[in-house]
Amino acid sequence: MSRHPTLLARAVEDRRWTTVFLAMLCIGLLAWTFRDAVGGELFRLHEIEVVGVSDDLADLVRTYAAEPRGRYLWAIDERRVARRVALLPWARELRVTKRWPDSLRISLRKDKSAAQAIVDGHLVDISARGRMIATRSSASAEPLVQGANNPADLKMAMAARRSFNRVRPADELSELRVHALGVSMYDRQGVEYRIGRERFEARLRKAERVRKDLKRRRMRVNRMILDDDMHPNRVVVRRAL
């Protein structure tokens, strides 16, 4: 006599054994994964991928990331890695993410030079926000900042630079000088615009109106003084000889 009185009963028992087999298989796979994760190479850092910069800068980023290969990925704190990489003065739009099972991705971009300055006897590139981002061995075509003796001076000079860019083409600016009264800017024609320490854009727009009027009248000048806080509407012009 058959052990299973009906085909349905046999199918039910076969399904039960199939379920047991699948459960044992899953347990085995989990045990193998756990053993490999703890004692093997799975989930250990194999690669730090750097995107957004050149290969030579990518190697520098990996050095600043300071995460040794072989470390477990779950033990890596992305925020700490980002803070270390952010010590690079040119690093911008920085993002660190884990890419399971075994890599770290660092995406960033290199800040562009907006000016150059002489700081402690060295020629350095300056970002648009006034940060020193690299040293230079020779001059570039960017405007030269002189007299900036500290980070605050650099930020003030670059704020004036950004204001100039909103009023006139960026390539018409030649030089910026920081002094006791604030900032003076020199265009490619050698005209000085003394604009003080604030309200740069408003003063430069006023200077531009005066410059165009003088050009129409064929009058040449070499200096405009626009930083008289007692008389904000006054523009003092010195004619060129």
pLDDT one-digit tens code per residue, 86-137? 999 899 999 999 999 899 999 999 999 999 998 888 899 999 989 899 888 8
Tokens 């003088």, residue located:
214
Is 167 within 8 Å of 205 (Cβ atoms)? yes
Neighbours of 15 (CB within 10 A): 10
Residue 94 burial by Cβ neighbours in a 10 Å radius (0-12, 13-18, 19+): middle
CATH number, domain 47-110, options 3.60.70.12, 3.10.20.310, 3.30.420.40, 3.30.365.10: 3.10.20.310
Omega within 30 of 0 (cis) for the link into 68: no
Question: What is the mean pLDDT of the segment spanning 19-35?
Answer: 62
- Structure confidence at residue 9 (pLDDT): 47
Is 63 within 8 Å of 89 (Cβ atoms)? no
Is 173 within 8 Å of 164 (Cβ atoms)? yes
Q: What is the pTM of this model?
A: 0.71
The yes/no answer on whether domain 115-239 falls in CATH 3.40.50.11690 is: yes
Confidence category of residue 70, pLDDT binned at 50, 70, 90: confident
The mean pLDDT value of the chain amounts to 86
pLDDT over 80 (residue 4): no
- Chain centroid to Cα 1, Å, comes to 82
User: Residue 30 has which token pair?
Assistant: 């989990």
Over the range 206-232, which residues count as b (16 or more CB within 10 Å of their CB) and which as e? bbeebbeebeeeeeebebbbbbeeeee
